[in-house]
Amino acid sequence: MSDAMAILHKLQTGLDVNVKFTGVRVFEYTPECIVFDLLDIPLYHGWLVDPQIADIVKAVGNCSYNQLVEKIISCKQSDNSELVSEGFVAEQFLNNTATQLTYHGLCELTSAVQEGELCVFFRNNHFSTMTKYKGQLYLLVTDQGFLTEEKVVWESLHNVDGDGNFCDSEFHLRPPSDPETVYRGQQDQIDQDYLMALSLQQEQQSQEINWEEIPEGISDLELAKKLQEEEDRRASQYYQEQEQAAAAQVQQVQGAASPASGRQSGSSERKRKEPREKEKEKEKEKEKEKNSCVIL
């Protein structure tokens, strides 16, 4: 639990996972994987070597991505022509599969993911929510360009090029609007999220949760609530710091402009008096109207 808590804050910036090219659920075990294990969330990828291509299988072997990069570097510096050739084959594999998804991996994904299963799909250093509906894989659409596209919810994953079909929540085809209007309302949505973060900040407790004092018999639901509260508190704190930084910049700009505005203070003060006198006259007229009554 303590190891997982040390990792949770990284969810805001990204987790470091290292794929292996032998299976859709094979990753090099890192501390970041603890979060998925603790919450029992399946993690998949589709960057696999086709077992029918013998030279690539030999060059890649059981290496993870990081190990394969190191192997390529060492093979290039070797005097052994066989190792140099093996390093070249491995490098070509990485270049040809830069999308981090192969057709063999896509086939393995389709057979490995269960119908209706909610899982996480890792590709191009991004984590996506994935599910399977009627034998077809779908990724949850989270791109900011679709903030105003209420009908676009899922995107099909049926090829390695990334040009899937967009669907609604019922997995019916829903093509997006014209690209010129996709980003309309994006800033409004960002402002709403910011205000929501501020409201959460007011509801959070002033102190962090002491996880060592949590009883061992706590239920999964109560533990999940505490974890969510802690993450919400940290996110709200981050937005609050950003707001304070922005306010400080505005004050600096206003301070720099104050000498120029001081010369116009006299004329602006005279302009303010005229509207105030008019407001007083309107208030007097309203009081007279209140004192009179009309009989219908």
The band of 132, judged by pLDDT with boundaries at 50, 70 and 90, is very high
Give the pLDDT mean for 172-198: 58
CA–CA separation, 179 vs 278, rounded Å? 50
The whole-number pLDDT of residue 130 equals: 97
Share of the chain above pLDDT 90, in %: 37
* pLDDT band at residue 136 under the 50/70/90 scheme: very high
Mean pLDDT of the chain: 78
Cα(122)–Cα(136) distance, integer angstroms: 17
Burial of 82 (0-12, 13-18, 19+ CB in 10 A): exposed
What are the φ/ψ torsions at residue 40 (nearest 5 degrees)? 55, 50
**Structure-model confidence comparison of residues 263 and 49, the more confident one:** 49
The residues with which 18 forms a beta bridge, in sequence order, are: 28
CB 117 within 8 A of CB 129: no
pLDDT at 108: 95
Give me the sheet containing 126-133, strands edge to edge: 43-44, 119-123, 126-133, 136-140, 154-156, 166-167
User: Is the separation of the CB atoms in 48 and 97 below 8 Å?
Assistant: no
pLDDT of residue 69: 93
Residue 143 has pLDDT above 90, yes or no: no
The residues facing 46 across adjacent strands are: 101
Q: What is the mean pLDDT of residues 96-105?
A: 93
Range with the lowest mean pLDDT among 29-43, 154-168, 257-271? 257-271
Q: Is the distance from CB of 3 to CB of 22 less than 8 angstroms?
A: no
CA 260 → CA 254, 266, 267, distances in Å? Answer: 10, 12, 13
CA distance 36 to 294: 74
Q: What is the pLDDT of residues 203-230, one digit of tens each?
A: 544 445 555 566 666 666 777 777 777 7
